[in-house]
Amino acid sequence: MLSHLERPHRPLPGWRQMLADFGPEYAANGFIGWVFAATAPVAIILSVGTRGGLSEAELASWIFGVFSINGVISILFCWLYRQPLAFFWTIPGTVLVGPALSHLSFGEVIGAYYVTGVLMLVLGVTGWVKRAMQAVPMPIVMGMVAGVFLQFGLGLVTSLHSDFAIAGPMVVAWLLLSAVPALGQRLPPLIGALLVGVLAIAILGRFDPSALGAIELVRPVVHTPQFSWTAMVELVVPLAITVLVVQNGQGVAVLKAAGHKPPVDAIAAVCGIGTILSAVVGSVCTCLTGPTNAIITSSGERARHYIAGIFTGVLAVAFGVMAPAFTRLLLNAPEGFIMVLAGLAMLRVLQGAFVTCFSARYTLGALVAFLVTFADLSVLNIGAAFWGLVAGFAVSWWLERLDFTDKEKQG
C-alpha cells in the first residue's frame, strides 16, 4: 500500500549543505511567507472562533496546532524531498467550520477533524487522491467555496462604512501596492495593509498596550472528540474536498509552475496525519499552502527554494509556541482591522473562485452550489456547504450532462 507514496530525495541534505544553501534572499522569502500566514489567515481563525464562542485559551491552542505542528511537518518534508513544501491549515475549511459551530459542539467538530484526517491518510497511501480530485467537478466545488467566502468580502465593505478611519487607509495601501508591481515585490500588499492598519490604530489610540500582558508560552488545550453523524455528514466530505482538491490542488499548481515536482500522494497522506495531530489541540485540517509556497518560490535558485521553506517552518514553530500573546494582541485589536485583513486576504481567492465557477463547464451547477451555500440554511442540522455541493452536482448531472460526457472523453 505504501508503494504508492513518492520516495524522498536522495541523498538527504546535511547541515553543511543547508547552511551553504541558506542566504538573505531565501531568509527574506521564508520570512514574508510566514508573515503572510501569521496575519490575515490568523484573523480568519479569530473571526470564526469568536463567533463560534471559543475561549481565548481554545483559540491560542488552535493557533498553536496550525503553526507548530504544521511547522514541524514543513521542516521535515522540505528536508526529505528537497522542495519548498510548506504546510499550514485550510482557510476554506476554517470558514466552513464557522456555521457548524452555531449548532454543533466543538467536540463534534473535532470528531469530524479526526475522521477527515483518517480519510485523507487512506486516500494518500492507496494512491486514490489523483482519481478523487479528477472525480469532483472543480467549478461546483468553487461555487460552494465562493458562497462561503462571500461573507468576508461583504465584511470588508461594511468595515469601510463602519470604521473608515482604519479600514480606508488599509484598503488604499493594498490598492497602491497591488497596482505598482515594483512596490508590491518589495512589500507584499497584505503586509502593507497590515502595517498601515497598525499605524492608524496607534495614531487613533485604539489599542490598550496593557491588554497584551506578559509573554507566555502556550498551554495546549486537549479536547475530547465527539462523533456524531450530523457532524460527519456536514463536515467530513467538504473538509476533505477543500484540502485535497482546493488547497492542495492550488499548492501543487504553484510548485509545478515554479519547476518543482511535488509528491502528491505523500502530501495527501501527511495532511491526514497532520490533521489527526492538530485535532488533539482543537486545530483545523492541515493542507499544502498555495500563497506561502508562492512567496517562497518567488525568487532565487530553484534548487535552494527548500531552505526558505525550512526557515518558514522554524518561524511557524516559534510563533505557535508563543500563541497566547499573539492571540491576545489580535483579539484586542479593533474589529474593523481584523475584518479588513480577512477580507483583503479573501479577495483574490474569491475572484479565482468566481472565474473557475463561470468560465467553462458546470456553470449552472456552480451557480446553484453558490446560491445554496450563501443562503446559509441548514437542513436536518447539516450545514449549507454540504447541501450546496449536493444541489450543484445534482443540477449539473441533470441539466449539464454534456459537460460530464466531455470530461469522460478528455479523460
- Band (pLDDT 50/70/90 cuts) for residue 381 is low
Do 302 and 259 meet the contact criterion of CB atoms below 8 Å apart?
yes
* Mean pLDDT on 93-97: 86
Do 90 and 287 meet the contact criterion of CB atoms below 8 Å apart?
yes
Asked if residue 358 has pLDDT above 60, the reply is: yes
Spatial neighbors of 232 by CB under 8 A, at least 6 apart, are 111, 112, 115
pLDDT digits (tens, 9 = 90+) for 5-43: 888 988 899 999 999 999 888 887 888 788 778 876 887
Q: Which residue has the cell 518560490?
A: 297
Do 33 and 83 meet the contact criterion of CB atoms below 8 Å apart?
no
Task: Report DSSP letters for 298-352, one per residue.
Answer: SSS-GGGHHHHHHHHHHHHHHHHHTHHHHHHHHHTS-HHHHHHHHHHHHHHHHHH
For the chain, give every domain's residue range. 2-410
Distance CA 145, CA 6 (A): 30
Determine if the pTM surpasses 0.85. no
- Band (pLDDT 50/70/90 cuts) for residue 275 is very high
Residue 24: what pLDDT?
A: 82
Distance CA 160, CA 203 (A): 18
Cα–chain center distance at 177: 23
Distance CA 411, CA 405 (A): 10
